[in-house]
Amino acid sequence: MLLLLISFSAFSQGQPDSSLTSAGLKALMAADSNLVILDVRTVAELEGDLGQIPNVINIPLQQLSERIGELEKYKKNKIAVICRSGNRSRRATKMLTENGYKAINVTGGMIEWRNNGY
């Protein structure tokens, strides 16, 4: 819980490298009904072994700079960004934050999400 509070504190201060774990994401999903989850993996990865979190928005990292406008209606929402392991989502989080979005990176990505049984 303390780690979750620290993550929220850094997030609320607008740190571009804000992050939380998959457990933190699970808690945030329960606490914030307006949370947006952006999965920046490819469509093929969404259909792969790791699957996907229900109701995610999928914009692959390679397309995010051209498609960022699709997220404009969510600019006031928190956006949790996830990928396979946390590397692409970290880059996407930075891009979104630099463009005024309230983005937070999910460290460990879908690998950690599945390893934790979610």
Nearby residues of 16 by Cβ (< 8 Å), 6 or more positions away: 93, 94, 97, 98
- Residue 100 has which token pair? 């005024």
Do residues 84 and 1 touch, judged by C-beta distance below 8 A?
no
pLDDT in tens, 20-57: 999 999 999 999 999 999 999 999 999 999 999 999 99
Burial of 2 (0-12, 13-18, 19+ CB in 10 A): exposed
Predicted local distance difference test score (pLDDT) of residue 28:
97
Domain positions in the chain = 2-115
Q: Give the amino acid at 28.
A: L
What's the pTM? 0.85
What does pLDDT average to over the chain?
Answer: 89
Query: For the residues 45-71, what does the mean pLDDT come to?
Result: 96
- Is the pLDDT at 3 greater than 50? The verdict is no
Cα separation, 118 vs 47, whole angstroms: 16
Whether the per-residue pLDDT at 77 is higher than 70: the answer is yes
CATH number of 2-115: 3.40.250.10
Take residue 36 and report the two structure tokens written for it. Answer: 């947006």
Quick check: 17 pLDDT over 50?
A: no
Q: So which residues are the catalytic ones?
A: 83
Span 69-74, mean pLDDT? 97
Q: What is the model's pLDDT at position 1?
A: 46
> Which position has the token pair 């463009």?
99
Predicted confidence at residue 103, as pLDDT, reads: 98
For the chain, the distance separating the N- and C-terminal CA atoms, rounded to the nearest angstrom, is: 18
> Residue holding tokens 């609320």?
12
